[in-house]
Amino acid sequence: MKKTSNRLADGREIIYYDLRDDTVRDAVDQRPLGATSTASEIRYDPLLSEWTAVTAHRQERTYHPPADACPLCPTRDGRLSEIPEPGYDVAVFENRFPSFTGGPGPGAAAGPHGLMAQRPGAGRCEVVCFTPDHHASFASLTDEQARLVLDVWTDRTAELSQRPGVEQVFCFENRGEEIGVTLQHPHGQIYAYPFTTPRTERMLGSLARHAAATGGRNLFDDVVAAELADTRRVVCESAHWVAFVPHAAHWPYEVHLYPRERVPDLLALSEEARADFPALYLEVLRRFDRLFGPDEPPTPYIAAWHQAPFNLPASGRQHGARADGEAVSVTREDFALHLELFTIRRTSGKLKFLAGSESGMNVFINDVPPERAAERLREVASDRQPTGSEPRTELR
């Protein structure tokens, strides 16, 4: 993988990741762009113990441009875009309308009764373009291309985690207008948060409580072992990965992918697990696209990598207590890297909307039994078999 960094006309960084070491990336952004003006702040909700970002500048972000004005396509035939090169393997650039940006600063004084805390929304938001083909999808990538994207996610995680104020790095892809995507070109994003996200905080708390209740057992390990033992919700597996519909799935079709060897983040994956990932992940994505039949448009989905926050001290963070009152701490190594993939389409032509119970109380009601979802995902398995050049365990 060759990595080349350059600058766009307004000063934002763009980074090219190429499969060939002899690739040269030196095109200059010819657009007459002024310097970006962004401001992000985060405000603390004391009732939910979580941060919310306030970003007024994002109201002006690009919204459903026509295909011939796509800002993520390469610059060709006189049409200028966010990517000055006429082609690319993977391109990553700073989002022009970021939710988090800049470095940390002093927090504003809290308001009455010590509440209303706020501070700068430090961090960084990046766009990851998987392919120059506007009409492609992640599922249409080759194993080699998917491996390159995995290496890009890993490299960006390593770099962003070192930025001042960053506590957690989140790599994800939104696909489909139904999900809320405003640019149809296949792409993902990376958020470098200035706090540990609420979802991760809840996982850490559950991890500590499980350890306290079981004499130190790891919750992630036990969940994966339980799913493998049950077998009904296992979708497919390989030598180094397992994919299953979780027992208490929130979404109509939801699959979690775990490496068999627990690691806290993408940086810690073994080379064997990296080499094994593309075939399994691409197979799951292709099954998603076959769920509802050939006449249905591509399945909308969100694919989200969950990584351990980088601010956990070596001694761990206290998140619970045993029955005798002694505190229980969790460390980064206790967390399990995993990818959560789900769609809001519940059946042909119908979407799962977050209504009163989900949006108002965060209590999900799922119309599709997880066992039936897993069965359907097994039914739509591809006929693709590993070849002699692909030394992988056959996908189940």
| Residue 388 maps to a domain | no
Domain CATH code at residue 242: 3.30.428.10
Nearest to 257 by CA among 278, 230, 232: 278
Are the C-beta atoms of 261 and 240 separated by less than 8 Å? yes
pLDDT score at 323: 54
User: Same domain for 110 and 237?
Assistant: no
Q: Which of 140, 159, 193 is the last residue of a domain?
A: 193
**Mean pLDDT, the chain, integer:** 90
Mind listing the pLDDT tens digit for each residue in 121-137? 999 999 999 999 999 99
| Residue 26 maps to a domain | yes
Q: Which residues are catalytic?
A: 187
Mind listing the pLDDT tens digit for each residue in 12-62? 999 999 999 999 999 999 999 887 777 789 999 999 999 999 988 776 667
Annotated binding site for Zn(2+): 70, 73, 134, 185
| Residue 168 maps to a domain | yes
CA distance 291 to 286: 9
User: Same domain for 30 and 145?
Assistant: yes
Alpha-carbon torsion (68, 73, 75, 81), positive or negative:
positive
User: Same domain for 147 and 210?
Assistant: no
Tell me the DSSP string of 125-162.
EEEEE--S-TT--GGGS-HHHHHHHHHHHHHHHHHHTT
Annotated binding site: 70, 73, 134, 185
Find all residues with CB under 8 Å of 310, minimum gap 6, and list them.
Answer: 161, 166, 167, 168, 169, 332
Proportion of the chain in helix, strand, coil states, percent, rounded to 5: 25, 25, 50
Alpha-carbon radius of gyration of the chain: 22
Termini Cα distance of the chain: 30
- Total number of domains constituting the chain: 2
Q: What band does 291 get if pLDDT is binned at 50, 70 and 90?
A: very high
Q: What band does 273 get if pLDDT is binned at 50, 70 and 90?
A: very high
| Residue 210 maps to a domain | yes
Are the C-beta atoms of 218 and 207 separated by less than 8 Å? yes
Query: Would you mind telling me the total number of residues written for the chain in this entry?
Result: 396
CA angle 179, 180, 182 (to 5 degrees): 130
* Phi, psi dihedrals of residue 45, rounded to the nearest 5°: -95, 105
Task: Please state the rounded mean pLDDT for residues 290-298.
Answer: 91
User: Same domain for 184 and 207?
Assistant: no
Task: Please state the rounded mean pLDDT for residues 221-244.
Answer: 98
Q: Which of 142, 167, 193 is the last residue of a domain?
A: 193
Alpha-carbon torsion (146, 150, 156, 157), positive or negative:
positive
Nearest to 302 by CA among 252, 260, 230: 252
Are the C-beta atoms of 257 and 281 separated by less than 8 Å? yes
Report the DSSP beta bridge partners of residue 301.
175
pLDDT score at 34: 81
User: Same domain for 162 and 42?
Assistant: yes
Find all residues with CB under 8 Å of 356, minimum gap 6, and list them.
Answer: none
- β strands within the chain, DSSP E: 2-7, 13-18, 41-45, 50-54, 90-94, 118-120, 124-129, 168-175, 187-193, 234-237, 241-244, 253-259, 301-306, 317-321, 327-330, 338-343, 345-347, 350-351
User: Same domain for 337 and 276?
Assistant: yes
User: Same domain for 159 and 205?
Assistant: no
CA distance 5 to 278: 26
Nearest to 309 by CA among 224, 208, 203, 216: 203
User: Same domain for 175 and 286?
Assistant: no
Mind listing the pLDDT tens digit for each residue in 53-88? 998 877 666 767 887 889 999 999 889 999 999 999
Are the C-beta atoms of 161 and 310 separated by less than 8 Å? yes
pLDDT score at 212: 93
| Residue 264 maps to a domain | no
Mind listing the pLDDT tens digit for each residue in 301-349? 999 999 999 987 766 666 655 555 566 789 999 999 999 999 999 999 9
Residues spanned by the domain of 280: 201-259+272-302+316-379
User: Same domain for 8 and 72?
Assistant: yes
Q: Which of 138, 163, 193 is the last residue of a domain?
A: 193
CA distance 224 to 340: 13
Are the C-beta atoms of 307 and 199 separated by less than 8 Å? no
User: Same domain for 162 and 249?
Assistant: no
Backbone dihedral region for residue 70 (phi beyond 0: left; psi -120 to 50: alpha; all else: beta): beta
User: Same domain for 180 and 90?
Assistant: yes
User: Same domain for 28 and 74?
Assistant: yes
* Per-residue buried b or exposed e for 300-311, using 16+ beta carbons within 10 Å of the residue's own CB: bbbbbbbbbbbe
Nearest to 62 by CA among 15, 96, 14, 35: 96
